[in-house]
Structure 1
Amino acid sequence: MQVPHFSFILPVSSHSDHEQLLDLDAFLVVKPLIFRSLLRLSRGSGLHPQCFPLLGLEKIGQQVAAGGSGDIWKGLVQGQIVSVKVMRIFQDKDIKAALKEFSREALIWRQLCHPNLLPFFGVYYLDGRLCLVSPWMDNGNIVDFLRNEPPNTNRLSLIVDVALGLQYLHEQNIVHGDLKAINVLVTPLRRACIADFGLSTIVNAMTLQFTHSTADMQGGTARYFAPELFRPKNKLSKSFESDVYAFAYVCYEILTGDVPFHDEKNDMAVMFQVLAGERPARPSACSGTKELDNLWELLSICWDGEAELRPKASYIIEQLIGPAIWATATTFAADWDDTFTSKFRRSLQAQSLLPSVSQIERMLFGDGSFRGHDC
């Protein structure tokens, strides 16, 4: 039987110069300006930036899983196993709308590079359906992983991994918006990494919804909702603070193996409990030592009912790895092939000559005459 091939989507864009500048780490200071400019140009012109190219991708085996918005398959590209999420979108207008939206979001995702964040490989069409490609994780999500691990598994290290990934997102002014245990994957080297940016939000009021979210109930999972998100009159959107609240529940699930409010069968009952100030009871897995006492205290302030009283991700990491808890992150080592990621592309482009400030200004606001060779 012949294996079906994927064809790479390469949207034509007149903004490739701007896109390439974003790949240069030397332009760290002006990246926000370049990024905002590129988004404005993309919206105004109807043209969209190129996605990071991969060639020769094939679907292998049978369908692995089905989510709320797509089917998961294994894929193969240049000898590396990848995850391929095939969107359940069939009408041409839906495909075009999804691609238009995701092309902007891919521009954001491709700039993210952190060992505790799932990298983005590319966007493809298969039989008229949109596909999203990322590294394959044999260990699955952290819930499945821990279910098959011995009780003495170092869960604190996994919690630090998640905190480090969340801190990186927040440093990039990105709100995850759908943080939960099943959106935390475990790499081959047993490191936790955050995936599925279901409601990732750029804090400067440019809200971008990732089309591959598996979220429910207004783009999130009710059991991980901060109380302010249950108050529609406040018209509050997901925030750094609601991410921190959800992080505490992810920690609870890592420690216990239970979803928050596991005794409740429906989201409405969870909402009433949360608004009444109820939180999960302290488990035995978080008792018995001074370090565990301090961990429970940290989780308690992370899920405080008042958003402004919750700590920042940097404070959480400080407490986790400091003398109060003494947790350690998983030792870093490469879990995926960087030749597929924007990190590799940036490493190549860093060798080229850099444009002057005036050339950057012309690229952003002027005649666009610079093509990377007139320094």
Structure 2
Amino acid sequence: MSVHHHDICALIERLDKLFHLEKEAYTKFLACRGAAAQQLLDLLQDLLDYDVDPATIDTRRLFKALIRLSANSKLYPRCLTLTGLKQKRLVAGGSFGDVYKGLLCDQKVAVKMMRVFKKSDIETILKEFGKEALIWRQLSHPNLLPFFGLYYFQQRLCLVSPWMENGHLRVFLEGKWYDTDYLLSLILDVALGLQYLHDKGVVHGDLKGDNIFVTSSRRACIADFGLSSIITSVSSIQFTNSSKPTQGGTVRYQAPELLQGGHSDLHSDIYAFAGVAYEILTGTPPFPDLRMDGAVINAVLAGHRPPQPKSCSGTPSLDALWNLLQNCWEKEPATRPTAAQIVQRLMHPDIRATKTQSTTDWDNLFTSRLRRHLASRRPLPSFSKFERIIYGDSY
């Protein structure tokens, strides 16, 4: 069945009006449970996965409704769980789990496998991860790694995203030299991705070089937001790696308030961003001279920050950048700049960072096109079908 753009837009607009203006209907929608909730979640996600340009159609209310119903019903759209992955080959291991390389509809993908084995453990993590997975699925930005969905392999839960041949920042930078202008572009890439997340109200929670990947066009993109907080929140799950990061982050990038038991928020992301910028400039994580994490914690809580290395000085732009990093490392969270302010300062003539241009990575509709290719072409649901499910008539 051919689906016309006009029909999709009309249905989105009618649902947007229902969620915004018809309080009784929206209350009934959020109260749906079981099979009715599952149908509504599936239909809404199908609708959001059509090739609709977010610049022309506002789907924010539908997105919010999807998240709220998922949280209330403890369910998530069934299409989050993928099938059909091929040629899975182990390529790396880490504290989170193992990484496999595979194919999904001829697209090279990374399959990140959690190190849990019991079915009950997987169900626990799914309950915790449902909201984060659902949010990630709706996000689309050139500096954010797309998320395709969840997959079960060898009775373990996997997260599927595009394969990045250049690897993450630490691998990409190791033993290589890049000119300052390009390094500034990488820093701006990360800032743009973080601004997009924060504009959507999303906290990354574990920003570091290992969670920043480099695309084939050498553009930086953020990955794996929210995963560390899920791991630490599921205290009953025992991972094969015994080390457990404080509050779901990596110590060398963590703000002092996190080291004292606080929770990740937009301000702590800004602190971590400065650590990522330091790593891009120097090729090493913050505090390279301190071998033990305990020494790093003591230094940060005592008010110390990484000293300015020679590679981060000597030109007006590098000195201006270092001043920006000092602002991001402020002790008081509220005094740190916002992600939007960071982008402005990076692009200001004082620093002159430029965006990494690319036409070979992905655009705003990349993930929706792939997801629609994966799913059977179901007919576009009618508005009356949504109403019948919400009001419990014969469904």
TM-score (normalised: structure 1): 0.81
Shift of 1:89: 1.4
Shift of 1:125: 1.3
Q: Counterpart of 1:123 in 2: which secondary structure? A: strand
Aligned pair in 2 of structure 1 residues 187, 368: CA closer, same or farther (>3 Å)?
A: farther
> Which residue of the partner structure matches residue 7 of structure 1?
none
Q: 1:239 aligns with which of 256, 265, 277?
A: 265
8 Å contact kept, 1:113–1:343: no
> Which residue of the partner structure matches residue 4 of structure 1?
none
Q: Distance in 2 between matches of 1:269 and 1:299?
A: 21
Q: 1:37 aligns with which of 65, 68, 72?
A: 68
Q: Distance in 2 between matches of 1:359 and 1:322?
A: 51
Q: 2:250 aligns with which of 204, 208, 221?
A: 221
> Where in structure 1 are there 5+ consecutive unaligned residues?
1-10
How many corresponding residue pairs?
344
Aligned pair in 2 of structure 1 residues 17, 308: CA closer, same or farther (>3 Å)?
A: same
Aligned pair in 2 of structure 1 residues 152, 128: CA closer, same or farther (>3 Å)?
A: same
**Deviation per CA, 1:143-190, whole angstroms, max 9, x where unpaired?**
211124334261000000000000011011000000011111101110
Q: Distance in 2 between matches of 1:125 and 1:303?
A: 40
Shift of 1:229: 1.3
> Which residue of the partner structure matches residue 71 of structure 1?
98
Aligned pair in 2 of structure 1 residues 33, 122: CA closer, same or farther (>3 Å)?
A: closer
8 Å contact kept, 2:44–2:62: no
> Which residue of the partner structure matches residue 59 of structure 1?
87
> Which residue of the partner structure matches residue 127 of structure 1?
154
Q: 1:255 aligns with which of 278, 281, 302?
A: 281
Q: Distance in 2 between matches of 1:150 and 1:269?
A: 29
> Which residue of the partner structure matches residue 367 of structure 1?
391
Q: Counterpart of 1:110 in 2: which secondary structure? A: helix
Query: What are the within-5 Å matches in structure 2 for residues 1-375 of structure 1?
Result: 13-14=38-39, 15-23=41-49, 25=54, 26-31=57-62, 33-43=64-74, 47-52=75-80, 54-61=82-89, 63-152=90-179, 154-199=182-227, 216-232=245-261, 236-335=262-361, 341-342=367-368, 362=387, 366-367=390-391
TM-score (normalised: structure 2): 0.77
Shift of 1:238: 0.6
Shift of 1:201: 7.8
**Deviation per CA, 1:35-62, whole angstroms, max 9, x where unpaired?**
343234322xxx332234655311344x
> Where in structure 2 are there 5+ consecutive unaligned residues?
1-33
Q: Distance in 2 between matches of 1:75 and 1:16?
A: 26
Q: Distance in 2 between matches of 1:100 and 1:36?
A: 13
Shift of 1:329: 1.2
Q: Using the TM superposition, name which of 239-248 and 146-155 deviates more.
A: 146-155
Aligned pair in 2 of structure 1 residues 20, 200: CA closer, same or farther (>3 Å)?
A: farther
Q: Distance in 2 between matches of 1:112 and 1:322?
A: 27
- Asked which structure has the greater RCO (Cα within 8 Å, sep 6+), the reply is 2
Q: Distance in 2 between matches of 1:368 and 1:21?
A: 21
Shift of 1:342: 2.9
Letter of the structure 2 residue corresponding to residue 191 of structure 1: R
Higher helix share: 2
Shift of 1:355: 7.1
Aligned pair in 2 of structure 1 residues 178, 343: CA closer, same or farther (>3 Å)?
A: farther
8 Å contact kept, 1:22–1:35: no
